[in-house]
Structure 1
Amino acid sequence: MKEPVVPPESDAMVVDAPAAVRMLYSYKEFTPTPTLVYTRHEEEANDLVQALRGPLGFDLEWRVVIRRGMPFIDRRTAVVQLSDEKMILVIQISAMQKFPQKLKEIIESPDIVKMGANIANDGRKLFNDFGILAANLVELGGLGRVADPQFPFTRSIVALATMVERYTGKTLDKGKVRSSNWEEIPLTEEQLHYAANDAHCALMVYNSLLKTSAASGRILTADKFTSNLKDNYENGKLKLKTSAPSPISRESTASSIETQSSGSSSGSSRGSGWDNPTVQPGDQPKPQHMRAYNMWHHRNMTMDQIRAALRSKENPLAVSTVISYVVWALQADTSLPFSVRRLKEFVQLEAGSWRRHRDWIVRVDAERRSVS
């Protein structure tokens, strides 16, 4: 059993203000005022996340493409926000070739609390997009049900704006910026403020709930409001595709909504990640695919070495192409040996490749687990 949750030292207090006079929530109004840091560079993100100290407010942003007469399409996660009481980090993943390794480690760490509203859905989104198995995700509504004797909701998933209003006395702005283009470089000041507020307010609500629990003498058992995607994945209970609500009603994550006619095309649509050819077991792998596989599996060459060897140092093959070559070789010849763990790490070297090859990798992994 997990240890009881201990309330942190925090200046965040519940403000019981009438609805008519409630002010908009802003992280800038808190003391100490956290520093907002925005990065769109992988190495910088890896350095910055190591300065964070949990527990951490957590949220994601992404675009949604709507085509008339067709189901809407979720783009990959564009922005990840994390907040402790001193720093709010807004990381624009869509501007990077690879998901930052240190950020991945924090999200997957079972020792670092990450909290938010409908946070398990965000965890599934990260798995679907990048193969990340988030751990220690605290659902604020679920925590509220066990921490607050006066909690008025029977459900465990409660809109972030509702939780913020109850536990900070302020109104969380969910205006038009919510549906802006989160892949635009750079993000605007309005977008940054919105993203920062979403992560910071989750932490403030969390701190307030822990104080409420302590004041009422309640002992919190983390298992009642915490999810761990790694456990779900290993038990075969992790859904492959995020069951996202309508973009109009989504409460936990802000997504850009792009409307298109059914006849239009979008370079940012799901199609760019799902264009690999159909490979049937028993097909002979193409020579170039086998070369890539042998360099990766038998010769243990780095990605940059393989890219250069398959083309030239001056004009190396694209990372995504190398990854696809290796996967297609394995799909064509199912007798080829390989480590699923190593393949996952290899595929995750390029942000779009996991989503492209995810279903096959997960299926193979599940088959191996079932016979082990």
Structure 2
Amino acid sequence: MTQRRDTPDKEAIALLPEFPRLGLDRITLVNTGKQAQQAHDALITSPAWGFDTESKPTFRVGEASDGPHVLQLSTGERAWVFQLHDPECRAVAADLLAREGIAKAGFGLGDDRKRIIQKFGVEPAGILELNTIFKAQGYRKEMGVKGAVAVLFNQRFQKSKKAATSNWANLRLSESQLVYAANDAYAAYRVWEETQALGWKP
């Protein structure tokens, strides 16, 4: 029987040293077909990607999101932030998401999956909900990236609420949006990598 384990609370996490995030020098913004193809060629050599999406927030009752507006994929070295306005860029992103044999690891991916099917018309392959790995280890509470980073690295993952609720449909993303989006995917990759090293399975 799996031993029950507790997820660290907010107060405990706040006392931890900060998780070292990717800086802008290791983040590539992708918004054209050519840039997307270059990203594609770099990404397909990796066995897994940290994965997440961002959508413009909806504030009115009944308002439907036409997101995702941003897709972020990361390896252990670099993250790519895809803006999805350009049809060629969107086509490459769809191809990456449908690619078999590469794990796309992240947290809370149910909503991302539904939106991807609606927007791209493809079923994303190899989606790995990292919460399932922690559940198998006895963590009963939904983990999320902050809890996972605290458990595995004894570090605090910083998330900007302002960036999280910003307009991801903007044609020009701010530096804080790029850093936020890239590091959500990068932290997911690092968590996946560490769970592999520990032999943890879903």
**TM-score category by the smaller chain?**
0.7 to 0.9
Q: Which of 113, 116, 126 matches 1:136?
A: 126
Give the partner amino acid of 1:179: T
Distance 1:36 1:121 in 2: 25
- Corresponding position of 1:145: 135
Q: Deviations over 1:14-54 (max 9, x none)?
A: xxxx634324434238xxx9821012112211221211123
The answer (yes or no) to whether the contact 1:81–1:199 under 8 Å persists in 2 is: yes
TM-score (norm 1): 0.47
1:100-119 matches, cutoff 5 A: 100-119=90-109
Q: Which of 62, 68, 77 matches 2:68?
A: 77
- Corresponding position of 1:210: 196
Q: Deviations over 1:61-88 (max 9, x none)?
A: 0112322xx3232132110000011220
Distance 1:20 1:136 in 2: 33
Distance 1:77 1:20 in 2: 30
Stretches of structure 2 that go unaligned for 5 or more consecutive residues are 1-11
Q: Deviations over 1:121-142 (max 9, x none)?
A: 3122100112121011111110
Structure 1 90/192 Cα, relative in aligned 2: closer, same or farther at 3 Å?
same
1:339-354 matches, cutoff 5 A: none
Distance 1:37 1:144 in 2: 30
Please tell me whether residue 166 in structure 1 is matched to residue 166 in structure 2: no
Distance 1:109 1:138 in 2: 13
The answer (yes or no) to whether the contact 2:54–2:168 under 8 Å persists in 1 is: yes
The answer (yes or no) to whether the contact 1:54–1:113 under 8 Å persists in 2 is: yes
> SS at the partner of 2:59?
strand
Stretches of structure 1 that go unaligned for 5 or more consecutive residues are 1-17, 226-372
The answer (yes or no) to whether the contact 1:23–1:170 under 8 Å persists in 2 is: yes
- Corresponding position of 1:65: 58
- Report how many aligned residue pairs link the two structures: 188
Distance 2:102 2:118 in 1: 21
Q: Which of 76, 81, 84 matches 1:90?
A: 81
The answer (yes or no) to whether the contact 2:22–2:186 under 8 Å persists in 1 is: no
The answer (yes or no) to whether the contact 1:24–1:173 under 8 Å persists in 2 is: no
The answer (yes or no) to whether the contact 1:127–1:133 under 8 Å persists in 2 is: yes
CA-based RMSD: 2.3
Query: Percentage identity across aligned positions?
Result: 22
1:1-372 matches, cutoff 5 A: 19-28=13-22, 35-52=26-43, 53-67=46-60, 70-93=61-84, 95-146=85-136, 148=137, 151-153=138-140, 157-168=142-153, 169-213=155-199, 220=201, 225=202
Residue 175 of structure 1: CA displacement? 1.5
Distance 1:188 1:46 in 2: 23
Distance 1:124 1:20 in 2: 33
Distance 2:135 2:27 in 1: 31
The answer (yes or no) to whether the contact 2:22–2:182 under 8 Å persists in 1 is: no
- Corresponding position of 1:236: none
TM-score (norm 2): 0.82
- Answer with 1 or 2: which has the greater Rg: 1
The answer (yes or no) to whether the contact 2:103–2:126 under 8 Å persists in 1 is: yes
